[in-house]
Amino acid sequence: MSNRFLLGCGVVAGPFYLAVGLAQAFLRTGFSFARHPLSVLANGPGGWVQTANFVLTGAMVIATAVGFRRVLGPKSAALSAFLGAYGAGMLVASVFHADPMDGFPAGTPLGPPTSLSTSGLVHFAAGGLGFICLGISCFLAARALSRRNSRSLARLSLVSGLIVLVGFFSAAIPNFSPVLGIWIAVAVGWLWLAILSAYLYRRADERSDERAHPANPRAA
């Protein structure tokens, strides 16, 4: 696969995931943006749509990680590995569904689950580890971009990593909605991935042009 195709997956992954998830959220009875993360959509009739959403988006994230490694070079191996781990976490989450909760799917008792199933526990663990890997990816990208003097993108990556980690683990913050924190972490994480992928996509395009039209060494 070409570098531009792989990086294009990073541009598309977030909008694709959110578009599919939000479409379900508006169409399925009982879902509330204030009470539910998108992952609970994998339950009940039509849950296969969110499962497929996890699989396809996770595969796109892994492809993006390969693109990052190719364009940024050997020093970005850790960045690529952590981003790929985030994509792998989505694949795990597609197999082990979150438990029904707080009125969704329709007929589920209101309030958080009284106990966690094995599937719900693995899903939560995969999500937690996945978001940790995503946050670390942002920090590693900040370091890589600083070396390239892309200071604005480095700062964006640093701030994005902090928001992703604080947002996902916001349940520890008194009087703050953990569901809202997850929504913020998801939105910021996808936005960061799209922006950085688009930046590297252009860099890959420039390198392709340079190889196709090498500069004339005699020109001065």
pLDDT, one tens digit per residue, over 143-174 is 999 988 899 999 999 999 999 999 988 866 77
> For residue 206, what pLDDT is reported?
55
| pLDDT band, residue 41 (cuts 50/70/90) | very high
> For residue 115, what pLDDT is reported?
83
Q: Which residue has the higher pLDDT, 176 or 55?
A: 55
The fraction of the chain above a pLDDT of 70, given in percent, is 91
**pLDDT tens for each residue of 106-127:** 888 888 878 889 999 999 999 9
Mean per-residue pLDDT of the chain: 89
According to the 3-state scheme, what is the secondary structure of 90-118?
Answer: HHHHHHCCCCCECCECCCCCCCCCCCCCH
Is pLDDT of 6 > 50? yes
Residue 95, judged by CB atoms within 10 A of its CB (0-12, 13-18, 19+), counts as middle
Is pLDDT of 85 > 60? yes
Integer-rounded Cα Rg, in Å, for the chain is: 19
Beta bridge partners of 104: 101
The Cα 218–Cα 130 span in angstroms is 51
**pLDDT tens for each residue of 172-212:** 677 778 889 999 999 999 999 999 999 999 887 655 444 44
Task: Judge if the upstream peptide bond of residue 105 is cis by omega within 30 degrees of 0.
Answer: yes
Which residue matches tokens 């969110």?
A: 50
Instruction: Name the token pair of 66.
Output: 């390969």
